Amino acid sequence: MRWIVGTLFLLACTRGPEASPDGAEPPRDVEVADPRPTVEARVDRFGPNASVAPTDAGYDPTFDARRTRGRVTNPEAAVPPLCYTATGGASNPCWVCHTVGQSPNDLEDVELQQAYAFSDFARDNHWDNLFEPPAPPPLDDAALLAYVREDNYRALGVALAELASRGEYPGYVPDLDLDAGFDDEGFARDGSGWRALRYQPFAGTFWPTNGSTDDVFVRLPETFRRDRATYRANLAILEAAIASDPRLRDADVERDVEPIDERAIELDLDRDGTLGVATSVRGLPSHYVGTDHPVRRRVFPEGTELLHSVRYLDPDAPSGMARRMKELRYMRKIEEYDDWRIHAAYAEELDEKERGKLPRYEGSAMVGLISFLGWQLQGFLEDAEGRLRAQTDEEHRVCVGCHQGIGVLVDGTFSFARKVPGAEGWRPQDLRGLSDRPQVGHAEGEVLTYLRRVRAGDELRANGEMIERFFDAQGRVRADEVRRAAPGGDRDLAWLLMPSRQRALALDRAYLGLVRAQRFHLGRDAVLAPPTNVHRRIENEATELEQVHFDGRLHLEWR
């Protein structure tokens, strides 16, 4: 029966409604089973303020999503603005995404480093906010800092829980109490099962110097976390399955993990022949502890959830992370496909692109869109008043574009494969104390390699501060300065990647201009001035890059 349901779901994903600029055939809702606590429990978790119904304050986070249901003006919104970069024949930021995939992601898309392989519709750059960014609001620094230090997360959970209790909202209801915080092992103190993840940020756009800070949390299904010992062990196994060196065979995997009491789980994780305290996983076990669920390399188990917040910059916060969220992003693995189906999904997408078909997606703004890898992706943005709201159908396409069809992905994800090994990787995100590690197979740090290959600190070569800090007058990277943040150096990633106070506030102010204008369908990147190294229209499919790189990886050299 499960095979039949899975097959029908795959057919629905590949034969869903065609993208339509006029929204003639809106996508339908997909009912997703909710394994989380009851609505009442979720409301209670948010404390005394939860008694205030969202309608009392005129706050309905789903209003825009419902009002614009099925409306898509840019059916190619999955192609991000940064893919329109003008390379000048020498700047190659494409290598970090487009590379040779790692099984079961067998996508090899290196050719996208050399060709703008866009549909006819996507040849025009529809991200108008790059060329005419909304005017920043005239806030002084004190008012701006007061804004980014406000909380806009709690109200979202309260409002959505209230709507869900009335049967008016079927999607994800935030159930992580950030105010309650995390214990010394990174577990949420609210008992929700979420655990904080610390990782090296993905190169380029996700560096704080380019506009935002972010953090990630993970939660495994309830059967994987029947007690703390079992949960820690299963997360250690997942870490070995997802984040270990991809060059090693499954039997040869070796990953440093937090100390695990093997006696509590009756499993010899480090394969030393005794049950003691393991600080590494050597070779992957056949199943997750206490379950009949097989361990699969570079595949998350069905039911895994990831929560990702994108924040404003706060130059006075120790981590640089503001309290206010720009976005809240949620992923849940609703279907774990076998390798054959994953290969077939990639082949189907490639075939449709070659035939010039526009993308099609299953789902809607109320539940999120479903990727062909079996993930439900749902996101929330700020409304004009700074309150978080559900993304529209079109806005959700941006999420699927980066979490589905690019070679570097590990099961449609970025962050977990870049987790800091062991206990240091189980706490809230913080770049302080981290070093510029090389990608696997590389000799130099990832940041240094990026700067050399891109000849700048961002995809569009618009980050003047990074150029001034780390390039000489001839445009050559000041490698010795960057290496100060390498392992053994006197600096860290925070020093390397955090913007100056002046730039941080300017980027916050620029993004707030986007929020006030509510023009996210035209782009959501904060730019301080219209960039010059970007195409308005692709006239020549060739990127003019002479050198391509086959070695882009999410995985890092930690030892």
* C-beta separation of 175 from 42 below 8 A: yes
What pLDDT, on a 0 to 100 scale, did the predictor assign at position 57?
A: 56
C-alpha 327/C-alpha 131 separation (Å) is 23
Q: Which of 185, 410, 392, 442 is nearest to 306 (CA)?
A: 410
Alpha-carbon distances, residue 382 vs 79, 326, 506, 516, 548 (angstroms):
22, 6, 18, 9, 38
What pLDDT, on a 0 to 100 scale, did the predictor assign at position 58?
A: 82
Give the end-to-end CA distance of the chain in Å, rounded to a whole number.
45
For 236-276, how does the pLDDT look when each residue is reduced to its tens digit (9 = 90+)?
A: 999 999 999 999 999 999 999 999 999 999 999 999 999 99
> Is 531 strand, coil or helix?
coil
What pLDDT, on a 0 to 100 scale, did the predictor assign at position 359?
A: 83
C-alpha 323/C-alpha 334 separation (Å) is 30
Q: With a cut of 50, which residues of the chain have pLDDT below it?
A: 1-56
| Angle at the Cα of 175 from the Cα atoms of 172 and 176, rounded to 5 degrees | 130
C-alpha 254/C-alpha 288 separation (Å) is 17
Q: Which of 351, 373, 347 is nearest to 361 (CA)?
A: 373
Strand partners, 280: 256
Cα 171 from chain centroid? 19
**How large is the greatest C-alpha to C-alpha distance in the chain, in angstroms?**
66
Query: Token pair for residue 88?
Result: 């000048």
> Is 332 strand, coil or helix?
strand
Give me the DSSP letters along 110-125: GGGGTB----TGGGB-
Q: Which amino acid is at 537?
A: R
* C-beta separation of 178 from 155 below 8 A: no
Spell 260-276 as b/e; 16+ CB within 10 A means b: bebeebebbbbeeeeee
Alpha-carbon distances, residue 519 vs 59, 262, 353, 525 (angstroms):
20, 53, 28, 11
The label of the residue with tokens 């305290």 reads 277
Q: Which of 508, 548, 521 is nearest to 137 (CA)?
A: 508
For 441-482, how does the pLDDT look when each residue is reduced to its tens digit (9 = 90+)?
A: 999 999 999 999 999 999 999 999 999 999 999 999 999 999
Q: Which of 380, 368, 371 is nearest to 310 (CA)?
A: 380
Alpha-carbon distances, residue 455 vs 111, 257, 449, 464 (angstroms):
20, 36, 10, 12
Ramachandran region, residue 430 (left: φ > 0; alpha: ψ -120 to 50; beta: rest): beta
What pLDDT, on a 0 to 100 scale, did the predictor assign at position 558?
A: 96
Residues sharing a CB contact under 8 Å with residue 283, sequence separation 6 or more, in sequence order: 250, 251, 252, 253, 254, 271
What pLDDT, on a 0 to 100 scale, did the predictor assign at position 320?
A: 98
* Residue 255 backbone dihedrals phi, psi, to 5 degrees: -135, 125
Q: Which of 149, 150, 157, 151 is nearest to 52 (CA)?
A: 157
| Angle at the Cα of 215 from the Cα atoms of 254 and 391, rounded to 5 degrees | 125
Q: Considering Cα of 270, then 298, then 304, then 110, what sign does the dihedral take?
A: positive
What pLDDT, on a 0 to 100 scale, did the predictor assign at position 356?
A: 75
What pLDDT, on a 0 to 100 scale, did the predictor assign at position 4?
A: 34
